[in-house]
Amino acid sequence: MHSPATQVALGYLLAEPGRVVFVHQIREDRTLAMAIGAHRRIEIPVAPWQGFIRGVPVPDPITWIQAARGYAGQAVAVRVSTDDPLLLQMLAPLVAEDRAQEERMRLEERIQRLRQDVDQALDIYNEVRQLMDLTPERQEELARFLNLAQSEMQRLGQELKALKARLDQTSQS
């Protein structure tokens, strides 16, 4: 690498390699993070080094290291961007756990939204049932809404079941 910023950052990381956690994507919830671009082709416009502390970009590694002193012992999330197939092959197992965790989080968020949608469909179903009891003259019209709410609950339930199965599958692997 012909980037002094990257060399300084790598020196910092090599001083305490146990703190380094390779990640697929840098999330804002990471306290300490840096992105290193190691591209051989010049047509890929990626900064050789970017640092973040608590989601805030830091302009250079020296400033980043000084600011990171306040977070001694914290893991440093490192995202490596490269076009080198050998380096990508070596990094794949290191970022696999982060990818799996990211997938689990995405599935859990989707399951939570689906549960809210099921609750909403159930509320609509109950409301329509009450309206049917109160207004017998609108039975035919309300029956269509009742069928829509039932089919929506069934569809959401099936999707919820499938997502739970995927979540169980990712938790086991």
Quote the pLDDT of residue 103: 85
Question: Are both 103 and 168 inside the same structural domain?
Answer: yes
Instruction: State the DSSP H helix or E strand holding residue 21, giving kind and residue range, or none if neither.
Output: strand 20-22
Question: Which residue, 83, 111, 126, sits at the end of a domain?
Answer: 83
Question: Which residue, 83, 111, 136, sits at the end of a domain?
Answer: 83
CA distances (Å), origin 76, targets 13, 89, 100, 143: 8, 21, 19, 58
Enclosing domain of residue 19: 4-83
pLDDT of 153 higher than 80: yes
Contact call for residues 44 and 83 (beta carbons, < 8 A): yes
**Could you tell me the pTM of the whole model?**
0.63
Paired sense of beta strands 49-53 and 32-38, if any: antiparallel
Tens digit of each residue's pLDDT (9 = 90 or more) over 37-94: 887 776 666 778 999 999 999 989 999 999 999 998 899 999 998 888 898 898 888 8
Query: Which of 111, 117, 121 has the alpha carbon at shortest distance from 148?
Result: 121
Question: Are both 61 and 106 inside the same structural domain?
Answer: no
Which residue intervals of 69-138 are DSSP H helices?
Answer: 85-134
pLDDT of 35 higher than 80: yes
Question: Are both 75 and 105 inside the same structural domain?
Answer: no
Query: Which of 143, 9, 124 has the alpha carbon at shortest distance from 76?
Result: 9
Q: Mean of the pLDDT values across residues 143-149?
A: 87
Quote the pLDDT of residue 159: 92
Question: Are both 78 and 104 inside the same structural domain?
Answer: no
Quote the pLDDT of residue 27: 85
Contact call for residues 84 and 38 (beta carbons, < 8 A): yes
CA distances (Å), origin 24, targets 28, 77, 114, 171, 172: 13, 9, 26, 18, 20
Question: Which residue, 25, 58, 83, sits at the end of a domain?
Answer: 83
Tens digit of each residue's pLDDT (9 = 90 or more) over 91-140: 888 888 888 888 888 899 999 999 999 999 899 889 988 888 888 888 88
Counting Cα atoms < 13 Å in the Cβ hemisphere of 74 gives: 17
Quote the pLDDT of residue 158: 92
Quote the pLDDT of residue 43: 63
Quote the pLDDT of residue 134: 87
Tens digit of each residue's pLDDT (9 = 90 or more) over 12-34: 999 999 999 999 888 888 999 99
Quote the pLDDT of residue 42: 65
Domain count of the fold of the chain: 2
